[in-house]
Amino acid sequence: MGYYLSLPALILAAALQSSLMGQLRIAGGAPDLVLILVLLWSIHAPLNEAIFWAFVGGITLDLLSVIPLGSSVMGMLIMIYLIKRLSVQLFHINIVLVAGFLLLGTVIQITVTHLILAFRGFGLSPGDVFQYVMLPELFYHLVLFLPIYIVIRGLQQRLYPEPGTRL
Amino acid sequence: MRRRWRSNSIGILFLSLIACAVLIALSATGILRPVEGIAAAPINFITGIFNRAQLSISSAFGESADIISLRNRIYDLEEQLAIIQAENIGLREIASDYERLADLLSYTSAAQDQELVTAEVIGLDTQSSVRSIIINQGTRSGIELGMPVVTQLGLVGRIIDVSANAALVQLVTDQNSAISGRLQNSRAEGSVVGRGLTNGILEMQHIQVDTEITEGELVVTSGLGGNLPPDLVIGQITSYRDFEFELSQSAQLRSLIDFNTLEFVLVITNFEPADISVFDEEDGTQ
């Protein structure tokens, strides 16, 4: 079911990010709704489903960007791997850890995409990326993650009635 | 179990990363451009909807800002409008005065044998029992007692008091006003007296019994008595009374002048009322 849900949810998120989120820029940065959805969904979703979400979300984002197709997927995949590795070793995933995952995932995503952009000739200086992209995005993700996580968790508990994470 | 998951997950991730790298490479070369175009179409469509919604919201916020500035503009314009309206009222007054004066001028052109002084009505008599007006011309303008005051519509009255720069005009409607009049058609004489205290109309008395009076007939000054020049319009017959037992007839007249809205008048200055009192004295001496 999570596979089917990914398409409308991520397309809508990408569309929102391409339109309304542009109005919420602070110091040049805006929230990455697709990244938030993919990472938060991936925490409790099966690996294959998380990878699928990463592909759908990343490609959708890249279709609305100058960045080459798949660039956004790369960072998400790396983060999903890290999340899954940590989730297996941890007995319980609390909200702080979720926030940590998201912030780390944001840093990785921005780093990877800007590296690819730099290869493509659209690079910014690391200082500018940190100040004008990373810091505002981290702030937004910290603000937005909790309500989104609650919604996602509620949906996943309906989709996967068994307690714990399906791996 | 955990080791198997780890190997599986690493394998899946590795395959995914390879797929992703291939995708990036293909996309960077531009091979996937047609596919990207097709895939982007529905997303662009949805994005367009959101964008229009966002623009509507932004423009709504922008419009609210515009409304505030427009409201301020309206206040400014209303203020200017009030000033212009006041000016407009003044100009209308001037235009109205101009029309009235033009009418008087045309009258003066017609009455070339008369010397006229134009005067503005500046007040009404404070006594409610007296029907008279105050004009802003006096002896300095050559105005004297007894001079007739007219408009293009007819007789207004006579000067009954005069100062250097003002004069009091007794209206024909005043209770004490008595003017020798003549019916325009029958040429019958009579005395026109004012009925200002009752209904403001005039009454022509002492008309000969056999005189045929018609409603709407004009009554003009006869010139008898020497107090007023002849042929000044006094008013129009509205009704008449003819009783067999009376020795004369009487008729009611309505002046063509609206005395309540009178603003400008003409004083005929080259008319000198005849002083017939000497004849009375002579009669008395005889």
Q: What is the mean pLDDT of residues A124-147?
A: 84
Domain annotation covers residue A166? no
- How many Å apart are CA B263 and CA B134, to the nearest integer? 10
For the stretch A3-15, pLDDT in tens is 888 888 888 888 8
For residue B258, what are its two tokens? Answer: 């609206």
CB B182 within 8 A of CB B220: yes
- How many Å apart are CA B116 and CA B105, to the nearest integer? 10
For the stretch A28-56, pLDDT in tens is 677 888 999 999 998 888 888 888 999 99
pLDDT computed for residue A166 by the predictor:
47
Q: Which residue has the tokens 């005051």?
A: B149
The residue segments making up the domain with residue A27 are 2-159
Domain annotation covers residue A21? yes
Q: From A83, which residue of chain B is nearest by alpha-carbon distance?
A: B9
Number of structural domains (chain A) is 1
For the stretch A45-97, pLDDT in tens is 888 888 899 999 988 888 877 778 888 888 888 888 888 888 777 767 788 88
Cα B2 from chain centroid (whole Å):
101
Domain annotation covers residue A167? no
pLDDT computed for residue B87 by the predictor:
83
Judge: B24–A48 Cβ closer than 8 Å, yes or no: no
3-state secondary structure A60-123: HHHHCCCCCCCHHHHHHHHHHHHHHHHHHHCCCCCHHHHHHHHHHHHHHHHHHHHHHHHHCCCC
Residue A7 forms contact with B (CB below 8 Å): no
- 3-state class (DSSP) for residue B135: strand
Sign for the CA dihedral angle at A28, A31, A32, A36 comes to positive
pLDDT computed for residue B212 by the predictor:
86
CA atoms within 13 A on the CB side of B14: 6
Residue B34 forms contact with A (CB below 8 Å): no
Judge: A74–B17 Cβ closer than 8 Å, yes or no: yes
Q: From A78, which residue of chain B is nearest by alpha-carbon distance?
A: B13
For residue B167, what are its two tokens? Answer: 């004069």
Secondary-structure percent of chain B, ordered helix, strand, coil, rounded to 5: 40, 25, 30
| Residue A122 pLDDT exceeds 70 | no
pLDDT computed for residue B149 by the predictor:
92
- Would you tell me how many other CB atoms lie within 10 Å of the CB of residue B103? 14
Question: Could you tell me which of B31, B206, B39, B58 has the C-alpha nearest to residue A24?
Answer: B58
Domain annotation covers residue A90? yes
Structural domains in chain B, CATH included, are 12-110 (no CATH), 116-271 (2.40.10.350)
Domain annotation covers residue A111? yes
pLDDT-wise least confident of A24-28, A98-102, B273-277: A24-28
Chain A residues with CB-CB distance to B23 below 8 A = 59, 68-70, 73
Residue ranges, chain B, pLDDT below 50? 284-286
Domain annotation covers residue A165? no
CA atoms within 13 A on the CB side of B225: 14
- How many Å apart are CA B166 and CA B153, to the nearest integer? 23
For the stretch B78-113, pLDDT in tens is 888 878 877 887 888 788 778 777 777 777 666 667
Judge: B5–A167 Cβ closer than 8 Å, yes or no: yes
Q: From B35, which residue of chain A is nearest by alpha-carbon distance?
A: A63
Q: What percent of chain A has pLDDT over 90?
A: 7
Judge: A12–B24 Cβ closer than 8 Å, yes or no: no
